Amino acid sequence: VPDRLIQALEAAVGERHVLTDAAMTSGYDVDWTGRFRGRSRAVVRPRDLEQVAAVVGACREAGVAVVPQGGNTGLVGGSVPLAGEVVLSLRRLDWLDPVDALACQVTAGAGTSLAALQRHVDASGLAFGVDLGARDSATVGGMAATNAGGLRLLRYGAMRAQVVGVEAVLSDGTVIRHLGGLTKDNTGYDLAGLLCGSEGTLAVITALRLRLVPRYDERVVALLSFSGVRAALDAVAVLRTTLAALEAAELFFEDGLALVCDQLGLRRPFARAYPVYLLVECADRVDPMPLLAAAVEQLAAEDVAVAADGPRRAELWRYREAHTEAINALGPPVKLDVTLPGAALEAFVGEVREVLRTVCPEGRCYLFGHAADGNLHVNVAGAPAEATEVEDVVLNLVASMGGSISAEHGIGTAKRGWLHLNRSKEEIALFATIKRALDPDGILNPNVLLP
């Protein structure tokens, strides 16, 4: 029996771009960590806005749900077809308009990778405010849909702060477009802001108007070691108040550093081990070294490694950025991504290790993250695949300390069961009302975000 939906999808995008063979769809069916795996009814690869609208229309008509997918680097199981959905891959929408230097903005297709955007704007002497380790694959559409945070949030904010306009396809195939990028534009609801963090549940983002920031070529990276978390957090407070050029302040621990060095065959940064490390980057138009050196003098750092040239800076960054791949090499971890109020961070680090020892003594817990944002990544390797005790104890601890159960990766399918820890039933009911208004048939990523 001919599959009417597949025929309609082929008519919309051409046979070559409708993949149904398992060998062809496998890369789209499993998430980056290997923890979330499904089987798509089909993977559809439209080329442009019109084709996206036609695909959404065909799926709606057939009553089949759609999972929008960008670079498939999401870490909460939101980008893969866990219930036989059609995967709508946006990767071919990878066009970039010329940079608008006067407005300091650029318009990009949703499938543009972050690395391609960075290269494009760099040539105009500008930069993009969000950076993250998955830059070669993550797309700007996926980054907006998850409201990605990343490594420079303390200076430029999350993705929502960069998005000044959006084009998207609604669940009935309607196109909304507001890409003018006017700096002042109080003409009603902020639809771009609403779609940021909506995780593919409200509309399919096809293009974005993005704010750009100055490109600072004078950069210094310092790796500082500390005797404990308190000393490292005190250092972050000093650096934030004294260094306007501060762009990153990243925290990790000795067990994570040892794992990274081991897995990647890297030389250790210091002659001896320390409990806690802080990686700091400053960027400016003039050499930030003198100001950074003066600030470091005020800190209780045990040891310091400083790098100004590009390759050495990258070497220091590797110790922090490679945590995700080094941990994944131990097998798919339980990944949690939480924010704590600054005042509770130190206590959380002690308590989370304690509760994990109780519920999952066989697990290895790695903590690292974006110190200035109060954002810690809690990764547990070696936990039983089906158990939810780890998530349960950690997320309840986070909520009891006034924190957020998702700092930057989103809710996806992975954290859906715990949304009530942070959002009241009135808020969740309002989420459902918004979802119904935009997607009455429930075809856009129906298994994500909402409980």
Q: How far is the CB of 419 from ligand FAD (least distance, A)?
A: 14
Q: Which of ligand FAD, ligand 2HG, none does 199 bind, CB closer than 5 to 8 A by kind?
A: ligand FAD
> 25 with 58: CB under 8 angstroms?
no
> Of ligand 2HG, ligand FAD, none, which one does residue 129 interact with (CB within 5 to 8 Å by kind)?
none
Cβ-based nearer residue to ligand 2HG, 209 or 335: 335
Cβ nearer to ligand FAD, comparing 301 with 336: 336
Residue showing the smallest CB distance to ligand FAD in the complex: 142
Q: Which amino acid is at 442?
A: G
Looking at this protein, which amino acid is placed at residue 274? Y
Structure tokens at 262: 């081991």
| Residue closer to ligand FAD (CB basis): 281 or 408 | 408
56 binds, among ligand FAD, ligand 2HG, none (CB under 5 to 8 A by kind): none
Nearer to ligand FAD, 9 or 291 (CB): 9
Please state at what angle helix 345-359 crosses helix 389-400, rounded to 10 degrees: 150
- Please identify, using beta-carbon distances, which residue of 231 and 413 lies nearer to ligand FAD: 413
Q: How far apart are CA 224 and CA 362, in angstroms?
A: 31
Tell me: does residue 133 bind ligand 2HG (CB under 6 A). yes
> The sheet that has 334-339: what strands, in order across it?
303-307, 218-226, 276-284, 246-253, 364-370, 375-381, 334-339
Q: 142 touches which of ligand 2HG, ligand FAD, none (CB within 5 to 8 A by kind)?
A: ligand FAD
Inter-residue contact 86 to 203 (CB < 8 Å): no
Residue 78 binds which one of ligand FAD, ligand 2HG, none, with CB within 5 to 8 A depending on kind? Answer: ligand FAD
Using the minimum distance from each CB to ligand 2HG, give the nearer residue, 46 or 369: 369
* Shorter beta-carbon distance to ligand 2HG: residue 120 or 377: 377
How would you label 283-317 residue by residue, b for 16+ Cβ within 10 Å and e otherwise?
A: bbeeebbebbeebbeebebbebbbbeeeeebebbb
Question: Which residues, in sequence order, are CB contacts of 199 under 8 Å at separation 6+?
Answer: 78, 145, 146, 410, 411, 412, 445, 448, 449
Our finding on whether 377 is near ligand 2HG (CB under 6 A) is yes
Q: Which does 70 bind (CB under 5 to 8 A by kind): ligand 2HG, ligand FAD, none?
A: ligand FAD
Candidates 67, 42, 43; CA nearest to 413 is 67
Q: How far apart are CA 318 and CA 73, in angstroms?
A: 19
Residues between 157 and 216 with contacts to ligand 2HG, criterion CB under 6 A: none
Binding mask 91-130 for ligand 2HG (x = CB under 6 A): ----------------------------------------
Binding to ligand 2HG by CB under 6 A, coded x per residue (else -) over 307-326, reads -----------------x--
Number of H helices, E strands in the chain: 15, 17
137 binds ligand 2HG (CB under 6 A): no
Judged by CB, which is closer to ligand FAD: 200, or 269?
A: 200
Task: Report the first-to-last Cα separation within the chain, whole angstroms.
Answer: 36
Chain positions contacting ligand 2HG, by CB under 6 A: 133, 324, 335, 337, 377, 379
